[in-house]
Amino acid sequence: MKVPTRSVLLTLVTLLLAGCYEVPVTGRRAMNLVDDKEVTKMSIGMFDDMKRRYKISRDRDRIEQLQRVGNRLSKVVFWDMPDADWEFVVFDVPQINAFAMAGGKVGVFSGLFKIARNDDQLALVIAHEIAHVTAKHVHEKLSRELAVSTVGTVGSLGGMAGGVSGLTVSALSQVYGLTTGISGFAFDRAKEKEADYVGLMYMARAGYDPQEAIRVIEALELESANDPVQPAILSTHPSHPERILQLMDSMPKAMAEREKSAIRTGPTLIK
Ligand SMILES: [Zn+2]
């Protein structure tokens, strides 16, 4: 076996140090080999493209509700996403879905409002999607794919230090799960659970009632049981009992976070 040269080792060490980040809230260390700015730039372009391709809702109540919830959440996640130029758009699409992208671009399909019945419930769904972004799940997935594709060509890793040349719009849209039209993001279960947990803490910190998280997840599951076509946001998510159990486990912590919240709104009234 060929002994790696000093410079190759140095490159690897530099990459590992530079390519590591800490997931907000959970503190998990994860790998990132892609250029944040490049991902953000491409994501913004993809979001603009979606705004051109899909009908944008004119329902004032829904638009206002999304803005209201989105603004409150964006304040809470400020330090986890300081570069965000927030934009919250309701798409007139009957599908039950929502997504968030790097750069602070959030889309909600009108179908979701059938399920998310109040601000607290909508907050959980949006916070879950934002958590995927602040946790850099897209970056992590891309980094893994790139690391695998560069195995054996250690020399090319040197070129990745200043940004990955292999990062393309098509690779990014695949990771976002947008290649087959609008569908849910295909993250693995561990990442979905992480987004559930981080999202729950975000919504609690924004003063929303964490108990509503369980109600909206239950409603989503019920809908998916009645509907032969799985709502996209559920298709890759952990199964119902697993999600609910994790949310219940995290409830005392979420309630404490809400208690500390400066923008607490008081108990949720029965709607
Ligand atoms: Zn998810």
- Report in angstroms the alpha-carbon separations of 257 from 18, 70, 133, 184: 32, 18, 21, 28
Q: How far apart are CA 242 and CA 178, in angstroms?
A: 26
What separation in Å is there between the alpha carbon of 196 and the centre of ligand 1?
A: 7
- Report in angstroms the alpha-carbon separations of 264 from 76, 152, 208, 256: 12, 53, 7, 12
Mean pLDDT of 199-225: 90
What separation in Å is there between the alpha carbon of 197 and the centre of ligand 1?
A: 11
Name the pLDDT band for 162 (thresholds 50, 70, 90).
very low
2, pLDDT greater than 60: no
pLDDT tens digit string along 168-207? 777 787 777 654 333 344 588 888 889 999 999 999 999 9
What separation in Å is there between the alpha carbon of 53 and the centre of ligand 1?
A: 23
83, pLDDT greater than 50: yes
What separation in Å is there between the alpha carbon of 270 and the centre of ligand 1?
A: 28
Q: Write out the catalytic residue numbers.
A: 129
Q: Is 240 exposed, middle or buried (0-12, 13-18, 19+ CB in 10 A)?
A: middle
266, pLDDT greater than 70: no
Transcribe 234-264 into DSSP letters: HHTSPPHHHHHHHHHHHHHHHHHHHHH-TT-
Which residue in this structure is represented by tokens 């719009």?
169
The conformational region for residue 33 under phi > 0 = left, psi -120 to 50 = alpha, else beta, is: alpha
Residue type for position 129: E
CA 214 from chain centre, in angstroms, equals 18
Q: How far apart are CA 201 and CA 216, in angstroms?
A: 15
* Structural domain spans, the chain: 35-138+165-260
What separation in Å is there between the alpha carbon of 109 and the centre of ligand 1?
A: 15
Q: How far apart are CA 61 and CA 108, in angstroms?
A: 13
What separation in Å is there between the alpha carbon of 83 and the centre of ligand 1?
A: 22
Mean pLDDT of 159-171: 58
pLDDT at residue 158, as a whole number: 41
Contact 122, 96 (CB under 8 A): no
What separation in Å is there between the alpha carbon of 266 and the centre of ligand 1?
A: 28
pLDDT tens digit string along 94-113? 988 889 999 999 999 999 99
pTM for the model: 0.81
pLDDT tens digit string along 120-156? 999 999 999 999 999 999 888 888 877 766 554 444 4
Percent of the chain with pLDDT over 90: 52
Contact 31, 143 (CB under 8 A): yes
Contact 97, 111 (CB under 8 A): yes
Higher pLDDT, 236 or 47: 47
Which residue in this structure is represented by tokens 């599951």?
221
pLDDT at residue 32, as a whole number: 85
pLDDT at residue 76, as a whole number: 95
Q: How far apart are CA 4 and CA 208, in angstroms?
A: 53
Mean pLDDT of 201-228: 86
What separation in Å is there between the alpha carbon of 156 and the centre of ligand 1?
A: 32
Contact 268, 120 (CB under 8 A): yes
What separation in Å is there between the alpha carbon of 164 and the centre of ligand 1?
A: 25
